[in-house]
Amino acid sequence: MVVIEYAELRKTYSIRISETDYDLSLSKELIEEYMDRWIRNRVYVVCESVYAVNLDIHMFYLMTCDWIKVSKGTPVSVVVKNDDGKILDCFEVSIGQKNAYQFANVKKDTNNMLHFEMKYRDMEGQLHELRHVILVHPLTGLIESLEKQIALLRDESKLKEEDQLQLDGLKQGIEAIHELKPGFLTEKELRIVKEYKTLFSQACEKIKQGQSYRDAIIEQKVGDGFFCSKLDDSLERYTVLLPENYSDQKKYPLVVLLPVGRYELELSAFRDLFFDQLNEEVILATYSCRGVVMGSYIGEAAFLEGLEIMKQRFQIDEDRIYLSGYSNGAYAAWALAQAYPDQFAGIAAYAGAADPDKLKNLMNISILNVCGDEDYLIDTAYIRQTNILSGFKYKGMLEPRSNHWDTKYFHHHLSSIRWLLQHKREAAPKQIYFRTEKARHRVCHWIEITEFADGKLFSEIAAEIIGDTIVRIHTQHIREFEVTLPDYVNHTYVKLIIDDQITVLEHRKQSRLRFRKKSDAFELQQERISWRREQNSSMGMGILDIYMDRLKIVVPDHYSSAEEELSIVKVANAYAKPKTAGWDPNIYVQYPILPSKQLTKQDLDHCNLICIGSRVRDHVFLSKIQSQLRIKLFEDGYSSNDRFTEGHYCVQFIQANPMNPKKKILVIFSNHPPYFNKNIYTRKMIVPIYASGIHPYLNKEVIMFSGSLKGSQLEVLESEIHTMFQDS
């Protein structure tokens, strides 16, 4: 009989009973650090609840993870401290025994929590420390204190807007923990309260001295920062660990730890796993990609926004940016690197799949790929990558007897981070390959695809520099591309071989060259024609391109009936809070919804818009732009390409905003409101992932429903705009 004791309850567990030395013989590189981090010498505090507000006795049990080095009955000295670090009590307990600590006499001497600092020795005499915390008073007083400190700094005119945002972020984090039901409160949340309280106090001192919140994080080396997301105006946070001697006079490599879900590593986990352990000149950061989005669409937009925040606030070496993630985070690492192969020096992917058609996009990126040999994703997460990428900068590690959930404990290993840091981005590699279905993803080092061939679902380009005088390029489904010749290419003579056609350039004056296909050959263009990127960027993204920037949803100002209003409000809510097909269906965004007449010039300047309606005259904004819409909307039908179609319809189409061509509008319109409920793509918005390939409807620029569904592209052909409908 085997008895298994759990230190905490989770949704999923993987149980593997095996002999440690045997595991080490199979994969020492992975197992050794796993054992040190999670098993050896580890003792957990097990208790029914850390919420002890209405109690005077705290019942807890000390349980070891490994009986080999820490035995049952080992004495543990316990020091009890208050929130300010003052010692209130001392006593001794034993590992493996149930303990009842009566704290009635000391709870009055702390504001919110009691902090237990425990010390014990393993069988080899090595001293170890363990910390535990319980809540004995509500957090109300702490929150009131933080509010008073913010108000005082504001009254003294010492609080800048950016610093107040940071302090508000800490306060809101504590408020969210305060609002949890006692049964949902864990030690992790209480440790966050402790971290936030300490950071808040240090930040206030810095601000009083004329410095900033950022200075407090730099001094502490680890902390949470906040920013107002441009996507949906929400307050988002990041967690960052800085090098010991961080200086703004120096640039540092950045490793982004991509989360499994909404967030992953909390501030206290960052401190436990990395602080004083990594000892590398590196910045570690994690921030939300808004859910289980696999780095796709909204996830990509959130990632890029977070990366830009990190570049603004800290000194980042852009030749040394790395991604690391497990499962959803690994999917994101693959997807982002495949879309932007010139942006990253390396990725570490644990149990996540890539788009198989674009694996060679990664030929110049250093890749650490870890997977269990019993993982249900092994074909798509490991075998395919290994077969295609083995000849490049690729290291595959297959963990014996491990499934998808085992692999979680191997990610973010210090050894993996150190492996990444050995590699640097190659700015202008001699050989490149790039395939894309999405016009947003079109740059690979020194080549940019500026226009797809008509009606094609993807473009592909392979290029190689031979010596310093020959550039060989092969294209597929490309109408136009640009080459920026690297500095090491000869300036006085260069031969370009494009699809077996030769172009010789002598004494070139510029390194950026544009080639456009005419008949069967590419020709060098002497003058650069302005390409309509804003409209074309929706190609391959379809109506989902609306989510790639700041977004607001605009509904009518008037409704003809309560039924019409209810139908439109349902559509607005579905698009304001889209879902995904992942294990957590929530995408953690909530885009603002406003009546058309409340739309401001600032909204038009900075936001994409989703405009929903059923009668143009009731929607002020649609009324203004009706004549410039690529599909004209009428109460008895619609007009496209000068052809009128009569009858009931429900249409969704994306185009450049006529009042600001740099931004997009997605029009969702039906002259028969019941169609909003019949059309699957207006009832619910489930955003797919990049690894699933092109969606037959959502990646089209038009979805038309008139009893049946059709998907189409609105294509830009130089100055001519035409619409081509075809059944999906």
Residues 40-52 have pLDDT tens digits of 878 889 998 999 9
Q: For the segment 63-76, what is each residue's pLDDT rounded down to a tens digit?
A: 888 777 888 899 99
Comparing CA positions, the residue from 659, 673, 670, 674 lying closest to residue 703 is 670
What per-residue confidence (pLDDT) applies to 40?
80
Structure tokens at 274: 């990395």
pTM of the model: 0.92
Structure tokens at 412: 């973010």
Alpha-carbon span 235 to 716, nearest angstrom: 37
Structure tokens at 11: 């949704």
**Which whole number is the average pLDDT over 368-391?**
95
Structure tokens at 89: 């009590």
**Count of beta carbons in the 10 Å neighbourhood of residue 467:** 11
Which residue is it, tokens 């109506």?
543
Q: What is the mean pLDDT of the chain?
A: 91
What per-residue confidence (pLDDT) applies to 21?
79
Task: Give 265's pLDDT tier (boundaries 50, 70, 90).
Answer: confident
**Which whole number is the average pLDDT over 274-283?**
90
E strands, 485-537, are 493-498, 501-506, 512-518, 521-524
Identify the CATH number of the domain defined by range 222-430.
3.40.50.1820
Please, which residues bridge with residue 650 across strands? Answer: 670, 705
Of 492 and 531, more confident = 492
Is pLDDT above 60 for 721?
no
For 451, counting Cβ atoms within 10 Å of its Cβ (0-12 exposed, 13-18 middle, 19+ buried), the class is buried
Comparing CA positions, the residue from 473, 369, 347 lying closest to residue 420 is 347
The percentage of the chain sitting over the pLDDT mark of 70, rounded to a whole number, equals 94
Is pLDDT above 70 for 596?
yes
- Please, are residues 655 and 610 in contact by the beta-carbon 8 Å criterion? no
CA angle centred on 630, ends 629 and 634, rounded to 5°: 65
Task: Give 713's pLDDT tier (boundaries 50, 70, 90).
Answer: confident
Q: What is residue 189's three-state secondary structure?
A: helix
How would you label 237-266 residue by residue, b for 16+ Cβ within 10 Å and e otherwise? bbbbbbbeebeeeebbbbbbbbbbbebbbb
The percentage of the chain sitting over the pLDDT mark of 90, rounded to a whole number, equals 77
**Count of beta carbons in the 10 Å neighbourhood of residue 143:** 16
What per-residue confidence (pLDDT) applies to 13?
60
Structure tokens at 656: 């450049």
Is the alpha carbon torsion for 686, 691, 696, 701 positive or negative?
positive
- 41: Cα separation from own chain's centroid: 34
Helix %, strand %, coil % of the chain (to 5): 30, 35, 40
Of 268 and 177, more confident = 177
End-to-end CA distance of the chain: 58
What per-residue confidence (pLDDT) applies to 535?
45
Comparing CA positions, the residue from 432, 435, 465, 467 lying closest to residue 447 is 432
* Topology of domain 41-135, CATH: Immunoglobulin-like (2.60.40)
